[in-house]
Amino acid sequence: MKYKITDPKYHFITVFDDETGVYVRTGIIKNGRDTGADPFMASFPHLIDVGVMGHCIHGKTGLCQKAGIGCYQNGAVTEKPNMTIDDFRWIAEQCRGRTNQLALGGRGDPDQHEHFEELLQICRENGLVPNFTTSGYGLTPELAAVCGKYCGAVAVSWYRSTYTHNAIRMLLDAGVKTNIHYVLGQNSIDEAIERLERDDFPTGINAVIFLLHKPAGQGTRENVLAPEDPRVKRFFAQIDRDHSFRVGMDSCNVPGAIRFCRNILPQSLDTCEGGRFSCYIGADMVMSTCSFDRKGQYGAALRPCTIEDAWNSEAFEHFRNRMRSACPDCKKRELCMGGCPLMPEIVFCSSEHRKMEQ
Ligand code: SF4
Ligand code: SF4
């Protein structure tokens, strides 16, 4: 089914197909015509990352660390309660008819939440498509069947283990649209290039999505990729060509795609959507522009404050203003907006025009 959202404040329309996940946004509409100018933001988030997990059952075992992934949520050393059903329902009810998808996440695998199925059910009751990412470690055929009933797509983190392959197989067998989330850093870019060169990912998957490594939580600075690293160019050359599966990336990677890719339609690229079309709500009910805002610089506490109040808060506006005013002399400004306002070191740009206010 296709959902249409008309934005009365910023004058554009979005269409979202809850079966295929296709999401299209018009330009700003004036006098009934599309002006071709992209809207800077929506009047309510279209996608919300909901950190339903407050703690991770794998934290103490170092599952992520063994896979070379530094948990950006500090899952190995932080234990907080998971989000309650009541809080989750409160969020979902506000999103009804205004948001397309809820991406469940937080500090751990959402499939290990004590009320996992109920969370997914609440999404569907409110016309929202639930998605989530998992290590796959605790996934069972029963949980995969629950995903098949409710989820738009499920992503398995690329931890290169037997449980990774088992989870992918279980999800595919349950008819779930299955993606791989691959964290791209110094320690994993060589493998990414090689696998893309050979189309070497499990058969049957829908897409491999590359998520840029960030120096947040247990993610180290040493693992951040430098913009002039020649491997970065080689990686984007692989992104730029066809594969037997789809290839995607998070919006944090977009400055790199703008710089190095020639075949990707610029209209299909969207730079950081944090605070513009998406946001994060943690299990502690603090809403921020992005889940990587670990210091809570742009956070607004919810309840009694609503999602709409937080979206219109000064903290969110401050974040957006940094993008609005970034790199005024750069020709790619419209598309890139200076990249990540949180962590300048992850932006694949070395231009002399680069400038972002603090
Ligand atoms: S704020 Fe930075 S880390 Fe967050 S979505 Fe934007 S680019 Fe990515
Ligand atoms: S100068 Fe700024 S807007 Fe231009 S490409 Fe670099 S980061 Fe993006």
> Which is the closest atom of ligand 2 to the Cα of 331?
4
Contact criterion met (CB below 8 Å) for 324 and 40: yes
pLDDT band at residue 264 using 50, 70 and 90 as cut-offs? confident
| Tens-digit pLDDT profile for residues 52-93 | 998 877 766 667 777 677 777 776 667 789 999 999 999 999
Report pLDDT digits (tens) over 178-191: 999 999 999 999 99
CATH 3.20.20.70 in the chain, residue ranges: 50-346
**Is the pLDDT higher at 263 or at 196?**
196
Question: pTM (2 decimals)?
Answer: 0.93
- % of the chain exceeding 70 in pLDDT: 97
> Does ligand 1 lie within 6 Å of residue 341's CB atom?
yes
CA of 293 to the centre of ligand 2 (A): 21
Cα separation, 187 vs 50, in Å, equals: 28
Q: How far is the CA of 141 from the centre of ligand 1 (A)?
A: 34
Residue 85 has what pLDDT? Answer: 98
User: For ligand 1, what atom is nearest to the CA of residue 250?
Assistant: 8
CA–CA separation, 207 and 112 (whole Å): 24
- What's the pLDDT score for residue 219? 82
| Vertex 282 angle, CA 226 and 274, to 5° | 45
* Arch. (CATH architecture) of 50-346: Alpha-Beta Barrel (3.20)
Residue 1's pLDDT is: 67
Pocket test for ligand 2, best of 270, 325, 354 (most atoms within 8 A of CB): 354
pLDDT at position 60 is 65
Distance 257 CA to ligand 2 centre (A): 12
pLDDT (mean) for 134-139 = 93
Query: What is the token pair recorded at 244?
Result: 């037997």
Q: What is the mean pLDDT of the chain?
A: 92
pLDDT tens profile 15-62: 998 888 888 899 999 998 999 899 999 999 999 999 999 887 776 666
Q: How far does residue 321's CA lie from ligand 1's centre (Å)?
A: 14
- pLDDT value for 75: 66
Ligand nearest the Cα of residue 351 is: 2
Average pLDDT over residues 243-255: 94
- Expressed in angstroms and rounded, the spacing between residue 250 Cα and the centre of ligand 2 is 17
Closest atom of ligand 2 to 330 CA is: 4
Structure confidence at residue 77 (pLDDT): 67
C-alpha separations of 168 from 179, 285, 314 in Å: 8, 31, 42
Return the pLDDT at 70. 72
pLDDT digits 0-9 by tens, 299-353: 999 999 999 999 999 999 999 999 999 999 999 999 999 999 999 999 999 999 9
Q: What is the mean pLDDT of residues 254-260?
A: 93
Helices 141-150 and 116-125, interaxial angle, to 10°? 10
Please report the atom of ligand 1 found closest to the CA of residue 272. 6
**Which residue, among 115, 109, 114, has the nearest Cα to 136 in the 3D structure?**
109
Quick one: tokens of 141?
Answer: 């055929």
- Among 71-75, 157-161, 211-215, name the one with the lowest average pLDDT: 71-75
Q: Check if 276 has its Cβ closer than 6 Å to any atom of ligand 1.
A: no
Q: What is the mean pLDDT of residues 128-153?
A: 96
Write down the residue that tokens 């598309």 correspond to: 335
Q: How confident is the model at residue 145 (pLDDT cuts 50, 70, 90)?
A: very high
Whole-number pLDDT of residue 124: 96
Q: Which distant-in-sequence residues (6+ apart) come within 8 Å of 243 by Cβ?
A: 196, 199
